[in-house]
Amino acid sequence: MKKHIYLVMGLFGFAALFTGCGNGNQGKGSSGALNSSNAEKVYVAPGEHDEFYAFMSGGYSGNLTVYGLPSGRMFKEIPVFSQFPTSGYGYSEETKPMLNTSHGFVPWDDSHHPDISQTNGELDGRWIFINGNNTPRIARISLTTFETEEIIEVPNSAGNHSSSFVTENSEYVVAGTRFSVPIPQRDMPIKEYKGNFQGALSFISVDPEHGHMDIKFQIIMPGFNYDLSHPGRGKSHGWFFFTTYNTEEASTLQEVNSSQNDKDFIAAINWKKVEEYVNNGGGTKMAANYAHNVYDESTHTATSTMKKEVLTVNPIDIPGAVFFLPTPKSPHGCDVDPTGQYIIGNGKLSADLTIHSFDNMIAAIEGKKFDGEAYGIPILKFEDVLAGTVKSGGLGPLHTEFDAEGNAYTTFFISSEVVKWKLGTWEVIDRKPTYYSVGHLMIPGGNSRKPFGKYVVALNKITKDRYLPVGPEMEHSAQIYDISGEKMELLYDFPTHGEPHYAAGIPAELLAPKSTKFYKLSDNKHPYATLGAADSKVVRDGKDVHIYMSTIRSHFTPDNIEGVKVGDKVYFHVTNQEQDFDVPHGFAVIGANTSELLVMPGQTKTIIWEPKKVGVWPFYCTDFCSALHQEMQGYIRVSPANSNIDLSWSLGE
Amino acid sequence: MRKIIKSSAVLFSVLMMSCGGKEEKKKEGFSVDRAKTTTEQPAPAPAATDTKPSETVDLDNKGVGPITSVNLAAEIDQEMAKQGEEIYSQMCLACHRVDKKFIGPAPKGVLERRSPEWVMNMILNPEVMVKEDPLAKALLAEFNGAPMANQNLTEEQARAVLEYFRTL
């Protein structure tokens, strides 16, 4: 018995020794999620910074979230298409116009595909664009302030899904419609979809200096579903590629009826040709009504303008501009490799990936080798444009990204995996499971001429048991893999906010140094700004009462206000007079039917308060700004509607 | 004992009720009571001397920060002082009234108590000053822990504000 114990102890000792040596000798070369080096790879020590920014769409949150890679830490939620009471976005008078549309004020959307602006096909880190899927819109977000600066509505579109992807020099941000609709909209039977509904592909020009967006033209295509898209780059710069499904043009039970054809199409658009046509006076101006909302950083205020016209183009009027590439089978993702040579269509009902060759496509077009036409648009022969097929054995391929070494990484939704394969040879190099049911994936720069292929992030649709349970509703889950070696290595899981569809990553060094720290008070051109404490005042204009209020640690000027009456509309115009990094002040007043304001240093924001009850009501700072934050408060006296108390305001008197 | 408390409570509420009839004439007695107790208590005396930090004269202390020497011309530069006043009104006035104690001390007469270098370092480097300069630290305590905000003035702007202080 004793002997036995000794033997066991000896074995333990040996095992311990072995483990100790194993860590020391094997280091990074070893595999398996339990390896301590995997923990080190995602560990960013306290006070240290991440190597990459990752911008993840919020899906049904309507916003955009900012994460660090490799840590998976979330830094910020940027409000884009949805009201955001945390900062007052969409509630404040300055930002309400951002959510104006031809349908009126729309306080929510479904944001899908962020894309960072490019110069010469490389990420330039000036802006990030994202689409609103439900009420078709494209937003532009500044990558210096990390705030939404512009939103343009897209007319004639519905289900703005094959968006928002930028061309190689950010000439255009492109928005395609998922749902075809009557163009222009009209009252007609749904059953008459086929041949009557159409799909608009919108090319929105981006002003190279300010980024301002303007719809240059819309190509009015046959009534298919335009699912995803990506620009050509390098040799294929000047082209844009869209996957389509429902080429059956079914209007009901698409689940079955849109899956009848063996092949749908990738639509190849020579946008340079269309641009030239339009510049020479081509196209038809169509009456329209769509909102263009622009935020001005100097006035801290957005304005909304309704545009009344859009230039439309019929593709058959421009020979050589639009072609269809047959692609099996209801292709979803449409991705172009860093050289611009390969266009990958992931047939979501197919097990294989279809890779088209840009060179083959050009040769087929020049040889006029067509296989019929669809509504006058030439269809190329599948065999003529095909470069190769990846036979991976996975199920439900969706999206592909690239590294800088000529490898591609494709997600498989049904079989829950990422498959790494080689461009050109089409051989599968590695496959790793995801947890679970991966949608998009993201490699920083993986959709440009210059990928930074160190990590791939899988954006999973199903979370289930990956974290502590929190009831039926959960955040989605992302997984980060190290792709620096031959085989992918799963490093870490992290939950993500909303439902990230696509994401965009960029090296931190391209953004961090130019990030705005605070707004200069001397640049503040807000008409209701309080630039100095002596400028604080209260002005009555009929039933409107304008309070010019300033904040600095730790008081409001003024903090006692009298002479307001029931039935008044009170505008609190709050200017934060701090001029230092990370000293916001909040403002909240009891019974406000809006939200709080979170005012950055040097900024002015306005909230409306309509007092309904007589009394003396407090307001206070909501952001813990200093040791005396709890003292940062004030009172506003509300008198009966027929009262004759004069307006007065004070601080410390 | 319990009875006494009870009956005095009733008496007090009767008193209150009788006051309620007359509109807001009655001042609250509560604050007077507290003022008494505070004066009765022995002063906590945070400093060894009786002089408040704000009244302490220390013209040799240059403070901690980027400014090591300032040459003040005999004549006040009126143009610079005017610029300084504009900057002061926008950046400083919310907490510093010109001639009375407010959130922070009044700038009037500050150069009789502080060196020009100390004043500029307090403007330009307040976070470090309140930690490392003993006088600035004592001032923070005297002014209820209200922090001196860094308004990110340039040295040139801070110099102009100093010139303005000379005119006060």
Contact flag B94-A557 (C-beta cutoff 8 Å): yes
Residue B144 banded pLDDT, cuts 50, 70, 90: confident
Contact flag B147-A627 (C-beta cutoff 8 Å): yes
What pTM was estimated for this model as a whole? 0.89
What is the structure's pLDDT at B16?
A: 45
Judge whether residue B2 has pLDDT over 70. Answer: no
Q: Which two tokens stand for residue A563?
A: 């002479």
> What's the pLDDT tens digit per position in A170-197?
999 999 999 999 999 999 999 999 999 9
Residue of B nearest to A556 (CA): B94
| Alpha carbon distance A156, A136 (integer Å) | 9
What is the structure's pLDDT at B30?
A: 65
> What's the pLDDT tens digit per position in B45-73?
444 557 899 999 999 999 999 999 999 99
What is the structure's pLDDT at A375?
A: 96
What is the structure's pLDDT at A351?
A: 82
Query: Does A19 reside within a domain?
Result: no
Which of residues A274, A294, A319 is at a domain's end? A319
| Alpha carbon distance B50, A590 (integer Å) | 44
Q: Considering chain A, what is the average pLDDT of its residues?
A: 94
Average pLDDT over residues B114-128: 97
Pick from A542-546, B7-11, B115-119: least confident? B7-11
Residue B18 banded pLDDT, cuts 50, 70, 90: very low
Which ranges of chain A have pLDDT less than 50? 1-3, 5-31, 33
Query: Does A223 reside within a domain?
Result: yes
Residue of B nearest to A579 (CA): B151
Closest-CA distance of chain B to residue A604, Å:
14
What is the structure's pLDDT at B50?
A: 74
**CB-based contact, B102 to chain A, within 8 Å:** yes
Could you tell me what percent of chain A has a pLDDT over 90? 89
Task: Closest CB to A577: pick one of B94, B102, B147.
Answer: B94
Which of residues A285, A319, A353 is at a domain's end? A319
Task: Closest CB to B91: pick one of A553, A579, A583.
Answer: A579
Query: Does A9 reside within a domain?
Result: no
Residue of B nearest to A653 (CA): B102
What is the structure's pLDDT at A329?
A: 85
Task: Return the number of other C-beta atoms located less than 10 Å from residue A119's C-beta.
Answer: 13
| Alpha carbon distance B73, B8 (integer Å) | 70
Q: Which two tokens stand for residue A217?
A: 């033209």
3-state DSSP assignment of residue A243: strand
> What's the pLDDT tens digit per position in B27-40?
556 655 665 444 44
Q: Which of B86, B93, B124 is the best substitution to test chain A (most A C-beta atoms within 10 A)?
A: B93
Give how many domains chain A has, as a whole number.
2
Give chain B's count of helices (H) and strands (E): 7, 0
What is the structure's pLDDT at B20?
A: 40
Contact flag B150-A550 (C-beta cutoff 8 Å): no
Judge whether residue B22 has pLDDT over 80. Answer: no
Query: Does A121 reside within a domain?
Result: no
A627 neighbourhood in chain B, CB within 8 Å: 145-147
Domain coordinates in residue numbering, chain B: 2-40, 53-167
What is the structure's pLDDT at B69?
A: 95
> Tell me, what DSSP letter sits at residue A80?
S
Q: Under 8 Å CB-to-CB from B133, ≥6 apart: which residues?
A: B61, B63, B64, B118, B121
Q: What CATH number is associated with residue A175?
A: 2.130.10.10
Is the interface score ipTM higher than 0.85? no
Query: Does A146 reside within a domain?
Result: yes
Query: Does A434 reside within a domain?
Result: no
A579 neighbourhood in chain B, CB within 8 Å: 91, 149-153
Contact flag A522-B102 (C-beta cutoff 8 Å): no
CATH 1.10.760.10 assigned to B53-167: yes
Domain that residue A535 falls in:
521-650
Which of residues A302, A319, A336 is at a domain's end? A319
What is the structure's pLDDT at A40?
A: 93
Average pLDDT over residues B146-166: 95
Contact flag B94-A578 (C-beta cutoff 8 Å): no
Task: Return the number of other C-beta atoms located less than 10 Å from residue A627's C-beta.
Answer: 14
Residue B24 banded pLDDT, cuts 50, 70, 90: low
Beta strand segments in A18-95, E: 52-57, 64-69, 74-78
Q: What CATH number is associated with residue A525?
A: 2.60.40.420
